[in-house]
A and B are shown apart, each in its own frame.
Chain A
Amino acid sequence: RKEVEQDPGPFNVPEGATVAFNCTYSNSASQSFFWYRQDCRKEPKLLMSVYSSGNEDGRFTAQLNRASQYISLLIRDSKLSDSATYLCVVNPERSQGNLIFGKGTKLSVKP
């Protein structure tokens, strides 16, 4: 089983749509979780951290289910500028600061 697994997509949605991404991780001892955004041939940029209680930042909502080892990202009212690849990222217990990246889910928002 891959350490961090994501649906690669692509997700093609119209502007204004709500889209959800899922991610699973294999290491039950993982300590912290993040969603990053990466544009083509650019560096990843931190979108938000993910907490067990769930957290929201504007149109973005992240959820963590430790029992199921499952992370989600919900984007409401999609904008054209949301088009990018979204990376699920896990910080495993065994190596502080060594983040494990999923392959990413590609989102394309169309007018």
Chain B
Amino acid sequence: GAVVSQHPSWVICKSGTSVKIECRSLDFQATTMFWYRQFPKQSLMLMATSNEGSKATYEQGVEKDKFLINHASLTLSTLTVTSAHPEDSSFYICSAREQGWDEKLFFGSGTQLSVL
């Protein structure tokens, strides 16, 4: 089946630094990728929808200048958490939708971000 690779799995960083998370579709082309955030004991919350070659669409309440998303190719989307603060500590997961499969999503393995 289709595989989505997300890297890194764990990040510990100091407050004020920026962190980049990569999401790659390994064996299919993903025109759309989604970025989610999950706090402990909470549901996955969609942060933004990333379309290849265009600007990402952010959900209400998500700061686009803080969470920079780049989807430069059909197989790679990146999320950069700029000037991270402790409240940004969370589990971030990407998912990718394969071309032609409107509802079938493949998830990355997630990134646990801890900001000190």
Contacts and interface: CB of A to CB of B under 8 A. Distances in A.
Interface stretch (B67-75, B80-88, B102-110): B102-110
- Say whether chain A's binding surface is mostly helix, strand, loop, or mixed: loop
Interface string B91-116: 10100010000110101111010000
Contact of B91 (A41, A101, A102): A41
A99 B43 contact: no
B43 A42 contact: no
Contact of B44 (A32, A97, A101): A101
Interface of B: 6, 32, 34, 41-46, 49, 91, 93, 97, 102-103, 105, 107-110, 112
A97 B32 contact: yes
Contacts of B41: 8, 103
Interface string A2-18: 00100010000000000
Contacts of B102: 96-97
Given A91-B103, A97-B102, A97-B103, A43 B43 contact: no
A91 B108 CA distance: 19
B107 A87 contact: no
Contact of A97 (B45, B97, B110): B97
A45 interface: yes
Contact of B110 (A42, A99, A101, A103): A42
6 contacts: A44-B44, A46-B105, A97-B34, A98-B46, A99-B103, A101-B44
